[in-house]
Structure 1
Amino acid sequence: MSTKDYYAILGVDRDASAEAIKKAYRRRAMKVHPDVAQDDAGAADKFKELSEAYEVLSDPNKRAIFDRGGDPRHANGAGAGFSGFGGGFAGGFDFTNLVDAMFGTQSGRGGPRSRVRRGQDALVRADLELHEAVFGVTKPIKVDTAVVCPKCTGSGGEPGSEPVTCPTCDGQGEILQIQRSFLGDIRTSQMCPNCRGYGTILPRPCSECSGEGRVRSRRNISVRIPAGVATGNRIHLEAQGEVGPGGGPAGDLYVEINVLPHETFRREGDNLEVVVKLPMTAAALGTTVDLATLEAEWENSAVEDRTVAVEVPAGTQSGTRISIKERGVPKLRGGGRGDLGVTFLVQTPTRLDDHQRDLLRQLAESRDEINPEAIAHKGKGGLLGWLQDRLS
């Protein structure tokens, strides 16, 4: 019968889960490990006792023996305790499990790894004209990614050849190393350097892909861009990215949108903005102008949608903005569209003949504006600054 209370040594309850036991060991081992607690003369003994407790409680069979009052160190004829610890499990102490518990790593024992793995995701950028982003488009995209090797079809070997078992690791993908220390025999495993952990080697690697099972290639795909996308939006295409090593499944492809500037319209969220130049007389008297919309650049639009009649009220000033409902950008999520904002820029004539100049002089005299009083405009940022922002 064991005289040690392994639960008390680890500081866990008797019904503690395997994960709780691992966490308790990791927490305490980091404090009493001889390399950490160098000022503690008894650190080696504490660490040995702690490791012994973890070795028992992390093994379901040994833990069951201990819970029944037996001595798990002598179960099934196992020697006299931890080799090198002054008693314990015969045949040496496998330190791999304790390293895993202390540092949360996988120190080998994973077996050979597969040559077939999922490929990485890929990212490409697509430039769109404004009307393509607003109304949607199916866009051809060129993608440079890895594809399955056409010669070996992903196997990595020359046609007709087969992988052979690695003679260095005997197909395990890892090799075992044993080192002597004050803790006993420490056994660790590392990736086999000959087969790189695969457990097999390719006697005749494919000359086309050098054993990778994939090659670089350019391909063309068609991407459906939904209406209402903006710069920075990404379209997700499943399994259109890089093919994985060994011809493994492809990753995903992300198409990032970049909307090019437009010479007439500017987008602000779901709204479109446009500046319309008006003659001074039209602004003063009022008029109706036919404005070409963005639909005029979209071949699928209805003819009646390609222009809109804009009412200009009499006395319209530069900077006046009116909003035309539902003529902006379709909402990417949800129905409806934004608005079309029309800002007027009133233009003063610069070339006048004598008759026109005389008419304007008569108008100015009738309005007592021959020598008007200069009144400074007051407002946030000033009108000129506001207009510059609108026209930039």
Structure 2
Amino acid sequence: MAKRDYYEVLGVSRGASADEIKKAYRTKAKELHPDRNKDNPQAESDFKEANEAYEVLKDDTRKAAYDRYGHAAFDGGMGAGPRGGAGRQGDFASSFSDVFEDLFGDFMGGRGGAGPRSRAQRGSDLRYNLRVGLEEAYSGVQKTINVPTSVACGSCNGTGAEGGSEPQTCPTCSGMGKVRAQQGFFTVERTCPTCAGAGQIVKNPCRTCQGAGRVEKERQLSVNIPAGVETGTRIRLAGEGEAGMRGGPTGDLYIFIEVREHALFQRDGTSLYCRIPVSIATAALGGEVEVPTIDGGRSRVRIPEGAQTGKQMRLRGKGMPALRGGGHGDMLIELAVETPVNLTARQKEILREFDKLAENNNPESSSFFSKVRSFWDGMKG
């Protein structure tokens, strides 16, 4: 039976990004996991098929081979059938050579050694740490950031050569980027000292970028921060990183989110916690208290009679939103019964009188000291 297309298995298009492929795989893995499909004998094979597809598509090198040759790139059937009269074995060797050249040509200097790939270098990925408030993480926000980075030189259009002239093949390594030296029985291969491994040299370097093909510049970018982000969330902006050397592809920019601590709320995933002080009278007699919510609103909470410190009450749907949908979490109100301070003489007198009359109104104290007496009696025995 012919294998299904890996993109079809995961349900993504061929132009899908790495994040989209990863997200699709996670969804498929949850859906097809054998533990959740015990009544479906096909689930295990479908689960393995999804794993196999993801193992190939998550790796840039293997994905490139698959995009060009399909399943034949990995099952030994690459190039099957006649090509210009060649048999299967010769065709396989030719195809493997093509794949090897396509995937590793940058490192080995390419076939001719003078092509653009032998000199172009991909720009570095950049990291930007961005701090946002809890309210911004709740609703989402658009931020403008200034990123110091390298951009393609406008004077030479990224070639590194003055006046738009083309770089020339390095005469030392003949465009390979490496030189070999014989040492006894061994041949040692080193990076070419003339071109530093680029395979090409610029005889008339651009005066603006000194032949690098890029210049330092600060760029202003607008970044959309989705609702529900938390500390550690990573946002990838493809192609917004450092410019490549001598016309190479641009790297990516990764935004790492840090959510600042809030004065009123503590966060745990999608749940929010808010500690509310209440007076002894309110805790004993019951009542109502008005509490804030992260969206700027207010909610009235009923305090039951005899409430103790640490008692929690839940406001459903008043927590943080889930990053990728799925509604909102809850907000938990935790009571803290407050002991009054700076009492007047009259207040102290009333409290002493109340304490004498409250012998049977403190069940927790009665239970604790009863256990203490039993402990002491046991020690005496």
Counterpart of 2:340 in structure 1 is: 349
Distance in 2 between residues matched to 1:134 and 1:60, nearest whole Å: 61
**Residue aligned with 1:245, SS:** coil
Q: Does the Cα contact within 8 Å between 2:159 and 2:167 map onto a contact in 1?
A: no
**Which residue does 1:258 correspond to in 2?**
258
Identity among equivalent positions (%) equals 40
1:205 is paired with a residue whose SS is coil
Is residue 159 of structure 1 aligned with residue 150 of structure 2? no
CA distance in 2, matches of 1:243, 1:322: 53
Listed as ranges, the gaps of 5+ residues in structure 2 are: 1-71, 77-88, 370-381
TM-score norm. by structure 1 comes to 0.60
What's the offset of the Cα at 1:179?
Answer: 9.3
Which letter does structure 2 place at the counterpart of 1:245? M
Report the more deviating stretch, 327-336 or 197-206. Answer: 197-206
Report the alpha carbon displacement of residue 164 of structure 1 after superposing the two structures with TM.
3.8
More helix by share: 2
Show CA shifts across 1:278-298 (max 9, x none). 1100111111111122222xx
Give the SS at the match of 2:324: coil
How far apart, in 2, do the equivalents of 1:346 and 1:199 lie? 75
Does the 8 A contact of 1:107 with 1:190 survive in 2?
no
Return the alpha-carbon distance in structure 2 between the equivalents of residues 247 and 348 of structure 1. 70
Cα-to-partner distance string for 1:131-162 (whole Å, 9 max, x where unaligned): 11122111122212211113222010122544
Q: Indicate how the Cα distance of structure 1 residues 153 and 377 shifts in structure 2: closer, same or farther if over 3 A, else same.
A: farther
The DSSP-based 3-state class of the residue aligned with 2:162 is: coil
Question: Aligned partner of 2:287: which letter?
Answer: T
Superposed CA deviations along residues 225-249 of structure 1, whole A, max 9, x for unmatched, are 1111111110111111111111322
Q: TM-score normalised to the size of structure 2?
A: 0.61
The residue that corresponds to 2:300 in the other structure is: 309
Residue 28 of structure 1 is matched in structure 2 by: none
Give the whole-Å Cα distance in 2 for the aligned partners of 1:373 and 1:169. 86
Provide the alpha-carbon RMSD of the alignment. Answer: 4.0
Residue of structure 1 in register with 2:331 after alignment: 340
Q: Tell me the residue number matched to 1:81.
A: none
**CA 1:251/1:289 → structure 2, altered by over 3 Å: closer, same or farther?**
same
Match of 1:272 in 2: 272
What is the SS of the residue equivalent to 1:246? coil
Match of 2:312 in 1: 321
Q: Quote the residue 2:379 is aligned against.
A: none
Counterparts of 1:364 and 1:262, CA distance in 2: 38
The DSSP-based 3-state class of the residue aligned with 1:257 is: strand
8 Å Cα contact 1:170-1:199 kept in structure 2: yes
Distance 1:336 1:373 in 2: 39
Match of 1:129 among 99, 111, 133: 133
Map 1:1-392 to 2 at 5 A. Answer: 60=90, 110=111, 111-112=113-114, 113-159=117-163, 161-168=165-172, 192-196=192-196, 198-296=198-296, 306-368=297-359, 375=366, 377=368
Contact kept, 8 Å, 1:147 with 1:243, in 2: the verdict is: yes
**In structure 2, what residue type is equivalent to 1:137?**
V
SS at match of 2:151: strand
Unmatched segments (≥5 aa) in structure 1: 1-16, 22-58, 64-96, 297-305, 379-392
Aligned partner letter, 1:138: Q
Q: Distance in 2 between matches of 1:205 and 1:294?
A: 57
CA contact (8 A) 1:108 1:191 kept: no
- Quick one: distance in 2 between partners of 1:364 and 1:188? 92
The separation in 1 between residues aligned to 2:324 and 2:358, in whole angstroms, is: 53
CA distance in 2 between counterparts of 1:189 and 1:280 reads 81
Q: Verify the 8 A CA contact 1:152 1:159 in the aligned structure 2.
A: yes
SS at match of 2:246: helix
Note if contact 1:108-1:190 (Cα within 8 Å) is conserved in structure 2. no
Asked if the contact 1:107–1:188 (Cα under 8 Å) also holds between the matched residues in 2, the reply is no
Cα 1:60–1:180, aligned 2, differ >3 Å: closer, same or farther? farther
CA distance 1:204–1:363, change in 2 (3 Å):
same
> Cα gap change, 1:245/1:139 in structure 2, threshold over 3 Å: closer, same or farther?
same
Taking the aligned partners of 1:288 and 1:326, their CA distance within structure 2 comes to 20
Shift of the alpha carbon at 1:119? 1.6
Paired residues, what number?
275
